[in-house]
Structure 1
């Protein structure tokens, strides 16, 4: 049983593990939020957030009037992505466009400020992304991706940009999850290679190249989602 203080991400990981173990099988209906939250020993708010995360990652699908089901990979259509959960506020295009501008600038301003330890942590996060993708631990794959980008933000010299990033972090994070269901192995390999080019530029203290490599990386991720910001 999960401790009630665990974050929704930990709840999502536990449910992902249930799916991998076969406790929840393709096509199974998720129990009601009241029953499931009681079974897991968590709040319904934490459960709702976890279910939304897993739906964005393509592991669950909600059908109006029927409930939430474990996705059967054999019956899912190529190109299926979960509905964009922030559509009432911003389009996914707007968020990707903002990421290109904001994170590109942040990467440029982080060049020359990252410690050797931070650069090593970015290398480790990139390797973890690769390893987690190989075993389809999608939760950990995205967590490693978030760690990679977060380290760059920490090193940015502009305090306002760091604050802006935190303000819109939920939306930015969703664009890192959103393309996962339609990401093929070739695109993941390319994404990991892009991470390593960003690290190389930052390690060389090359501001212009760091910015360009980050912008290219985010644009390529957007193209995976069918967008060209």
Structure 2
């Protein structure tokens, strides 16, 4: 049976391709959700989620009372200083709260995962890091973040504490958003640093250095928060 949870992701990928190929041009207004969902053959809920994802990644921009538009490439080019989209979960948690929770939760998860990852999982983490690097070079923002999520998810899967795993999955939507949120203002130097941080985390986990893995993960998330203008 088709996994409905993958539909927004697939729609977002199609829309990103339309933007990159010029089928959707800079400054072009996106049709109404009703019209566009019918054209694409997907539900309005799936389209809405895809549009929100692309807005967070800086590929679309919503203007109050006017609609949603394809972002100006000058503001989304690699290394340019773009703007972050509004935080989606502001009615429940601040982005600061989520980053702070990530530091506490993922740092401890990394500590408890040290020495528990198989060679296959470590190889998958390295491939995810390589994919991040390659996709950033091609400005495939969706695939870059998907690889980032996969990297962190592998570590969670090896954690020895089932409750911490469950807590992570409970807040996964908010965690995912913090991994997308800084993308529009991320310059190449920060992405290179982030990739290097991933490799240091992998090395500490492989060497069963629990305390080091915790510190590396906490530093990685803190640096991402700084990229988003938080935790200076």
- Is this a same-fold pair by TM over 0.5? yes
Is 1:80–2:83 an aligned residue pair? yes
Hey, what does 2:13 align to over in structure 1?
A: 13
Q: Kindly tell me: are residues 4 and 24 of structure 1, through their superposed partners in 2, closer, same or farther at Cα, counting changes over 3 Å?
A: farther
Gaps of 5+ in 1: none
2:84–2:181 CA contact under 8 A, matched in 1: yes
Hey, what does 1:143 align to over in structure 2?
A: 146
Is 1:114–2:89 an aligned residue pair? no
Q: Kindly tell me: are residues 57 and 216 of structure 1, through their superposed partners in 2, closer, same or farther at Cα, counting changes over 3 Å?
A: same
The Cα shift of 1:74 comes to 2.1
The residue matched to 1:80 in structure 2 has which SS?
A: coil
1:4–1:42 CA contact under 8 A, matched in 2: no
Is 1:24–2:24 an aligned residue pair? yes
Hey, what does 1:177 align to over in structure 2?
A: 180
Provide TM-score, normalisation by structure 1. Answer: 0.96
Quick one: distance in 1 between partners of 2:181 and 2:43? Answer: 25
Is 1:134–2:175 an aligned residue pair? no
Does 183-192 or 79-88 show the bigger shift?
A: 79-88
Gaps of 5+ in 2: none
Hey, what does 1:189 align to over in structure 2?
A: 192
Hey, what does 2:61 align to over in structure 1?
A: 61
What is the number of equivalent residue pairs in this alignment?
A: 227
Hey, what does 2:219 align to over in structure 1?
A: 216
Q: List, as ranges, runs of 4+ consecutive aligned residues in structure 1 with deviation greater than 6 Å.
A: none
Q: Kindly tell me: are residues 97 and 50 of structure 1, through their superposed partners in 2, closer, same or farther at Cα, counting changes over 3 Å?
A: same
Once the two structures are superposed, residues 56-86 of structure 1 have per-residue CA deviations (whole angstroms, 9 ceiling, x without a partner) of 0000000011000000032578351100000
Hey, what does 2:38 align to over in structure 1?
A: 38
Quick one: distance in 2 between partners of 1:98 and 1:190? Answer: 22
1:126–1:196 CA contact under 8 A, matched in 2: yes
1:79–1:182 CA contact under 8 A, matched in 2: yes
Hey, what does 1:48 align to over in structure 2?
A: 48
